[in-house]
Amino acid sequence: MPRTQPEQHPPPVQWLRVKYAKRGRARFTSHRDFGRAFERALRRAGVPMAYSSGFSPHPRISYPNASPTGAASEAEYLEIGLAAACDPDKVRAALDAALPPGLDVVEVAPARPGALAGELTGSRWQVDLAGLSRATLQEARDAFLAAEVVLVQRMTKNGMREFDARAAVVTLEVEDRRLTMTLVHQTPLVRPDDVLAGLLVAGPELAVTVPPILTRLTQGRLDLESGVITEPGHPDSGGAARRISQL
């Protein structure tokens, strides 16, 4: 008996770039759980999705550089391929209404040519640390920035990895009970919790009694010379990019 050929689907008619936020308790949503919730929202919203070909077709969704579980974010991105052209504003409103509270669709726009991951080369993060004084954080920050290399370890799906947390830090600023940092995206990707681990390695012991609250403020293309993060979809910095404080 001849083998059945897998169903072939046409390529997407339109690609849309979706910017969304994870707020409040929704920050504890894992990447897998978000994916399930987002696909349900697409069905509820009636978005005409394009599907991949093969024996197990799946909706055309691209998820680059998702934030870690437990981190809030104001700037997460994904792209969806559609089987029919749609008004981006109508898609945004329908998806936002279909998603659970705290998973909020901020913007939907036509995707630009090229891979989305290539536009996400840096992030700006806020880390709230209850019970730590500015002086303590400043001492740890100064020791960390003075070091050439700060090695930290993290368990990954491929086992324990050791990498340099210092190399990814472009800026690191201190306020009372808060750190704000700009990280360049490298391989392996350094996260804000890795930088906190690096502060413990390089500087004085920090008595962190309450889990820190991590919030991604923005992400996009990081220009190391000008100190600008340009969000995906914005070709220039005129009102669309966020200027980074310099060391």
Mean pLDDT of the region 35-48: 97
Residue 4 lies in a domain: no
The pLDDT assigned to 110 comes to: 96
Structural domain boundaries enclosing 37: 14-117
Q: Model pTM?
A: 0.88
**Judgement on whether residues 208 and 159 belong to the same structural domain of the protein:** yes
pLDDT digits (tens, 9 = 90+) for 126-159: 999 988 889 989 999 999 999 999 999 988 878 8
**Judgement on whether residues 42 and 98 belong to the same structural domain of the protein:** yes
Residue 203 lies in a domain: yes
Helix, strand, or coil here: 117? helix
| CATH code where residue 32 lies | 3.30.70.580
Round to whole Å and give the CA distance between 245 and 170. 9
Indicate the length of the chain as a whole number.
247
**Judgement on whether residues 107 and 129 belong to the same structural domain of the protein:** no
Mean pLDDT of the region 212-223: 95
pLDDT digits (tens, 9 = 90+) for 13-36: 999 999 999 999 999 999 999 999
Residue 202 lies in a domain: yes
**Judgement on whether residues 124 and 225 belong to the same structural domain of the protein:** yes
User: Using CB atoms within 10 A of its CB, is residue 244 exposed (0-12), middle (13-18) or buried (19+)?
Assistant: buried
Residue 166 lies in a domain: yes
- Domain finish residue from 117, 146, 173: 117
- Domain finish residue from 86, 117, 148: 117
Helix ranges, the chain (H): 31-45, 88-98, 134-146, 192-202
Single-letter residue type at 170: V
Round to whole Å and give the CA distance between 195 and 213. 14
Residue 2 lies in a domain: no
**Judgement on whether residues 151 and 214 belong to the same structural domain of the protein:** yes
Give the chain's domain count: 2
Round to whole Å and give the CA distance between 57 and 172. 44
- Phi, psi at 77, each rounded to 5°: -135, 150
Mean pLDDT of the region 43-47: 97
- The one-character DSSP state at 197 is H
Query: Which pairing describes strands 72-82 and 213-223: parallel, antiparallel, or unpaired?
Result: parallel
Other C-beta atoms within 10 Å of 173: how many?
16
**Judgement on whether residues 105 and 216 belong to the same structural domain of the protein:** no
Q: At what angle do helices 134-146 and 192-202 cross, to 10 degrees?
A: 90
Query: DSSP string covering 26-43, please?
Result: GGG--HHHHHHHHHHHHH
The pLDDT assigned to 238 comes to: 38
Residue 9 lies in a domain: no
Mean pLDDT of the region 211-228: 90
* For residue 187, pLDDT beyond 90: no
Percent of the chain with pLDDT over 70: 91
